[in-house]
Structure 1
């Protein structure tokens, strides 16, 4: 049976709780909105496959995750994509530079699949907000200073009844970087 899955970075429980408080506060001001019930995360990709294929891709992800190293992600800025009505938290540049290669390698690992990819690491507060609600969000939230240790990726499955993703696996980073292949010279 075909199911929809996503791969994300999950922040620490403390950051998840703080983001939930922010989302609840925004909801108290603008009522229900897309992502208001979503657990805080940074999306890497989303895909739909037959559930019988999942274990094969999970093993490939475990192998590539063994080569990733843990790093601290610093969340220090808010941003928005006005064309899609998204309001989000930005990691700082160093954090983005640590996350992007991991995201890219995961995209490459899952290349045979039709992926809905994210190339810009960010943590959504709200999606598909009206211009008015986007303005309200940007006025409510002006400063942020949080961080978490990124030491794994999380595999989630979409529940079509609840219309939310739920965690089905956490794949830890092995901190075993692959040695770079160096082309030798005979002369």
Structure 2
């Protein structure tokens, strides 16, 4: 059976503070609902749909690649939007972006055999598919932010079609082990 999964950067430390922002926006917008209002805080790397039997192979690839990454601090320090997509988000600072983007690219490369829905610009969505009016409300409501978390793993989430939300199913810790280099050996 086919299921949808996503690979994300995730930290329990920021789920609460970001949920407060989402709840505040939800209380201010028309109909008290918008896309992403109930989604736990995360930075998307990619999303894909596969048959369940392929999952173990994907997990092995994610475990192997995560072992090569070194933990670092991510700072979210400004609000911004993608007006054409109706997305309002918290952006990362330049140092965080410089650390996140190479990991994102390596994961995309590792999973290139899958049909990926990729995210190349690291950000944490507050709302998606917002109307221009609701984007304006968000930008007036939220002007300054400073959140930080230790980025020391990537997380695999599974989409639950009944609840229409992704749920964490597995995490892959960063091992600080650089890619092993092949060394030509000699028997004598």
| TM-score of the aligned structures, taking structure 2 as reference length | 0.94
The equivalent of 2:143 in structure 1 is 142
Rounded Cα–Cα distance in structure 2 between residues aligned with 1:135 and 1:180: 51
| Cα displacement string for residues 49-95 of structure 1 (whole angstroms, at most 9, x for unaligned residues) | 00000100110110011000000000101110000000000000100
The equivalent of 1:185 in structure 2 is none
Rounded Cα–Cα distance in structure 2 between residues aligned with 1:47 and 1:15: 25
Rounded Cα–Cα distance in structure 2 between residues aligned with 1:136 and 1:177: 45
Using the TM superposition, give the Cα deviation of residue 178 of structure 1 relative to its aligned residue in structure 2, in angstroms.
2.3
Q: Secondary structure at the match of 1:83?
A: helix
Equivalent runs, 1:12-91 vs 2, <5 Å: 13-30=12-29, 31-91=32-92
Rounded Cα–Cα distance in structure 2 between residues aligned with 1:14 and 1:46: 23
Q: Does the alignment pair 1:124 with 2:125? A: yes
Aligned length: 180
Using the TM superposition, give the Cα deviation of residue 177 of structure 1 relative to its aligned residue in structure 2, in angstroms.
1.7
Q: Which runs of 5+ in 2 are unaligned?
A: 183-188
| Misfit runs of 4+, over 4 Å | none
Q: Secondary structure at the match of 2:84?
A: coil
Rounded Cα–Cα distance in structure 1 between residues aligned with 2:142 and 2:122: 19
Pair 1:140–1:61, CA change in 2 (3 A): same
Q: Which runs of 5+ in 1 are unaligned?
A: 182-187
Rounded Cα–Cα distance in structure 2 between residues aligned with 1:48 and 1:179: 30
Using the TM superposition, give the Cα deviation of residue 180 of structure 1 relative to its aligned residue in structure 2, in angstroms.
7.3
Give the aligned CA root-mean-square deviation in angstroms.
1.1
The equivalent of 2:7 in structure 1 is 7
The equivalent of 1:184 in structure 2 is none
Rounded Cα–Cα distance in structure 1 between residues aligned with 2:5 and 2:13: 25
| Cα displacement string for residues 160-182 of structure 1 (whole angstroms, at most 9, x for unaligned residues) | 0000000110110001122679x
| Cα displacement string for residues 24-67 of structure 1 (whole angstroms, at most 9, x for unaligned residues) | 00001001000000000000000000000010011011001100
Q: Secondary structure at the match of 1:154?
A: strand
| TM-score of the aligned structures, taking structure 1 as reference length | 0.94
Q: Secondary structure at the match of 2:168?
A: strand
Rounded Cα–Cα distance in structure 1 between residues aligned with 2:89 and 2:43: 10
